[in-house]
Structure 1
């Protein structure tokens, strides 16, 4: 498979139901964390606001062709989970959440399902040196489900292009995030944002190099600024006057820097080793000297 084919298989659509029956959709992607040799902990990564408070949630994995490491398009398995909000680990300060996937992969295998997806790996995270060598104005792609739109038949996301609007090395307004110039809509929350260079790479040190390609996970989309248009809507039949307020996207998106996903690794390692999360009053696994409930467990 070509590199862009793998990008199309790293995400899943997330559909949530909230108290009172409200529904929402978002994007999650599969990533391997806590990698040690051939061992890793696969997780789903999304935004906290996508799943926090959800009563039930669904996501989809494409099935693998029998005896072949290829997607069996048109065939996929739907996971539907109760107590969805409680199944995630939440970042203590950022709009991020992860959910360990191995129990669901094993559950599917017990039912005879073999899944095809392309997990992202830590080597896709740009190092500080790589970020410093990137010039301003980079081509990016984001993969997700804007307004919940997807190829339901083939379980495929929507891939969109854009450019960086601020440099991903710099913390925008003092936060570990940057801005992209791309069409960002509800449902795209949780989308991975990639630097994608095919057939040429650019850097501050070397300029443009023809023939090379590069893919890096720059961050996770979580929000975007909007301006509001107001207009008068008249219901002539009954003479009522209503003012409609419409949010208009600015075609900008706020993206959490990808290095933040590594913040989950201490708790994931603890969970993997002990088969449970830390008790509220235990020392936090991140070695902050705080208790878990005051640190990485503050919002979980």
Structure 2
């Protein structure tokens, strides 16, 4: 999904179609089971046909201590176009062992190199992938506004378009200045509902037609897209409710987790730390 898409897709494939084909729903089972989001990243997009540099990125906590897991791919036809309603489910035993954790254990990221499981994928599949050209440079970050509109793709509460194998797209804004390290860490906050299942979701700046920079310069463009970060946490608060048990009137207190529509995201530049590990 490079800034110049002419060599990556057919003439009628829009950037939004590619973006919506960039993620996979990760399902894990057993006692540590749940749902997470992964997305494709190509560490060397000059040779996309080999798949040797293609990986799925997600949070380490999505796969940690998971014995069995799976994700779903979309088949493609002989012309390289997606067959949206035809899918491949890739089931992996010893799920955690297939993923490479970030070299810094404090960074909640990991990758699954596709070449390591290529023998398990029996048919060709369609994907849209991000790459280093979509990670903003420091110079580009310095032009960002303190408040930017963002979109996030993923599988909140395990919801997805099962028929077409497509994610749910959410829209919001940066809740903290993307130019500044939030609380001294290489991350930022977003104001968008960050529900369980969204862990690992790519967060994008996606402007169509026009945008402003931090100096209020007005730009007219076909589109502007940056892979800004990866969601890893959704802060929540708890609320106590009272359930009355009838007829003996015994009271029990229940605790409910309530999202506060904020999410914490790791800067996308941390993906580049995997170079040399794939």
Q: Displacement of 1:224 after TM fit?
A: 1.7
Q: What is residue 130 of structure 2 aligned with on the other side?
A: 120
Q: TM-score, normalised by structure 1?
A: 0.83
Number of residue equivalences: 261
**Is 2:65 the counterpart of 1:53?**
yes
**Is 2:247 the counterpart of 1:234?**
no
Q: What does 1:150-299 correspond to in 2, within 5 Å?
A: 150-205=160-215, 207-237=217-247, 239-268=249-278
Q: TM-score, normalised by structure 2?
A: 0.90
Q: Displacement of 1:74 after TM fit?
A: 1.1
Using a 3 Å threshold, how does the CA distance of structure 1 residues 37 and 11 change in structure 2: closer, same or farther? closer
CA distance in 1, matches of 2:93, 2:153: 26
What is the RMSD of the two structures over their aligned residues, measured on CA atoms?
1.6
Q: Which runs of 5+ in 2 are unaligned?
A: 1-12
Q: Which runs of 5+ in 1 are unaligned?
A: 269-300
Using a 3 Å threshold, how does the CA distance of structure 1 residues 165 and 64 change in structure 2: closer, same or farther? same
CA distance in 2, matches of 1:141, 1:6: 14
Q: What does 1:28-67 correspond to in 2, within 5 Å?
A: 28-33=38-43, 35=44, 37-38=46-47, 41-65=53-77, 67=78
Q: Displacement of 1:5 after TM fit?
A: 0.9
* Contact 1:15/1:26 (<8 A) preserved: yes
Runs (4+) of structure 1 exceeding 6 A deviation are: none
SS at match of 2:96: helix
Q: What is residue 92 of structure 2 aligned with on the other side?
A: 81
SS at match of 1:151: coil
Once the two structures are superposed, what CA deviation does each residue of 1:166-220 show, in whole Å capped at 9, x if it has no partner? Answer: 1222110011100000011000000000000001122135612134410100000
* Contact 2:45/2:131 (<8 A) preserved: no
Using a 3 Å threshold, how does the CA distance of structure 1 residues 238 and 100 change in structure 2: closer, same or farther? farther
